[in-house]
């Protein structure tokens, strides 16, 4: 017996646009890894993902390219911080770059393809915890 899930009419309409078709999306994984011992590793992950309506692909490319220009400019500046301070530079580099990527994701929550006006995509967030034994 096949189960059927029931959604509100609004949710049915949104899911209907994504059903049985190929969709584009992106996913970012923010990972903090700690090597406790040489054979034990602890990691915390925060994942953000977005699934776009296919009809908006060209607008997504425009927004993505604008975001990458800013990210690459920030990467050049962060590289100088790493060179100037080998101890704190990598930490600042990680925090600034991760903050930029997350700010881009947060901006898309309300306005997906900034600066273009379009509908909001499907998105998800998740937390993961892992404990690994290395042999």
Beta carbons within 8 Å of 128's beta carbon, 6+ residues apart: 43, 44, 45, 46, 47
pLDDT attached to residue 4: 66
Could you give the 3-state DSSP secondary structure of residue 97? helix
Residues found in the chain: 135
Domain spans, the chain: 23-133
pLDDT attached to residue 10: 78
pLDDT attached to residue 69: 93
Scanning the structure block, which residue is given the tokens 């080998």? 86
pTM: 0.63
Q: How would you write the pLDDT of the chain (135 residues) with one tens digit per residue?
A: 566 667 778 777 777 777 777 777 778 888 888 888 888 989 999 998 887 766 667 777 887 888 899 989 988 888 887 788 878 888 888 888 888 888 888 877 766 655 666 666 778 889 999 999 887
CA distances from 31 to 13, 45, 47, 98, 113 (A): 35, 5, 9, 10, 26
Evaluate the CA torsion angle 77, 82, 83, 84 in order and state its sign: positive
CA–CA gap between residue 74 and residue 96 (Å, rounded) = 8
């Amino acid at each position: 017996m096949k189960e059927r899930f029931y959604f509100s009419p609004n949710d049915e309409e949104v899911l209907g646009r994504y059903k049985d078709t190929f969709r584009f999306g992106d996913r970012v994984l923010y990972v903090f890894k700690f090597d406790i011992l040489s054979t034990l590793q602890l990691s915390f992950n925060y994942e953000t993902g977005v699934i776009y309506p296919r009809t908006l692909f060209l607008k997504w490319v425009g927004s993505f390219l604008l975001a990458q220009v800013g990210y690459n400019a920030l990467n050049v500046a962060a590289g100088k911080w790493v060179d100037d301070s080998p101890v704190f530079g990598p930490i600042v580099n990680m925090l600034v770059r991760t903050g930029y990527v997350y700010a881009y994701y947060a901006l898309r929550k309300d306005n997906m393809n900034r600066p273009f006006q379009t509908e909001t995509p499907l998105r998800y967030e998740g937390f993961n915890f892992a404990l690994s034994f290395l042999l």
